Structure formats: structure tokens, C-alpha cells
Amino acid sequence: MSRIEQEKQTVEQMIRLYCRKKEGNETLCPQCREVLEYAHARLSRCPFGEKKGTCRLCTIHCYKPEMRERMREIMRWAGPRMLLYHPVAAIRHLWQEYIRKQ
């Protein structure tokens, strides 16, 4: 699986976790679906391609301010919980961030 596809999968897991556990929805609500589609579109067009790090450490902020704030809210809530619900994806994401800082 490519780096971009892994990142898309991780973002989707975080958004679904947030929508299900924090907002109490069975399926993705329209707002969370909009954020997910936006994130997938942005990842597909990432100028760094397979060499991309995590979006948090990126030098180019390609999200619109309102979407960036919404994603920040989702990740702030879902990030710590990913270790319980999706531990492999969470550790992979943290590892990528660690490598990028080096």
C-alpha cells in the first residue's frame, strides 16, 4: 500500500472513530463525510507524494482554514483513542512523524 493510501486510511479511521464515538452516529454524518472527502482530495494532490510526512508537520498547509480547524478538532479527540481502536495505524502514524522530525 502506498504512503498516501495509508495516510488516507488512517485519516478515515480517525474521522469514523470521532463521528461514531464522540458524536454518537451509526454512520458518517454529512459534516464528517465532507471532511473525509476533503482530506482524501488533499492527500491525492499532495506535492510531496510518497515522501510526505504527517500533515501536522507539513511546511505547506493545503487545507482551508475552517477545514483545518475541523480536522484539528477531530485529530485532537481521536488521536489518543486510536491506540485503543486502531493501534497499528496509530503507531505507524507516530513513527512517520518521528522519522520526519529527524
Counting the structural domains of the chain, the total is 1
**32 Cβ neighbours under 8 A, 6+ residues apart:** 15, 16, 18, 19, 23, 25, 74
Which pLDDT does position 22 carry in this prediction? 95
DSSP letters, 42-78, are: HHHT-TTGGG---GGG-SS--S-HHHHHHHHHHHHHH
Q: Which residues of the chain have pLDDT under 50?
A: none
Region for 56 from its dihedrals, namely left if φ exceeds 0, alpha if ψ lies in -120 to 50, beta otherwise: alpha
The parent domain of residue 90 ranges over: 3-101
Q: What is the pTM of this model?
A: 0.87
Which pLDDT does position 100 carry in this prediction? 64
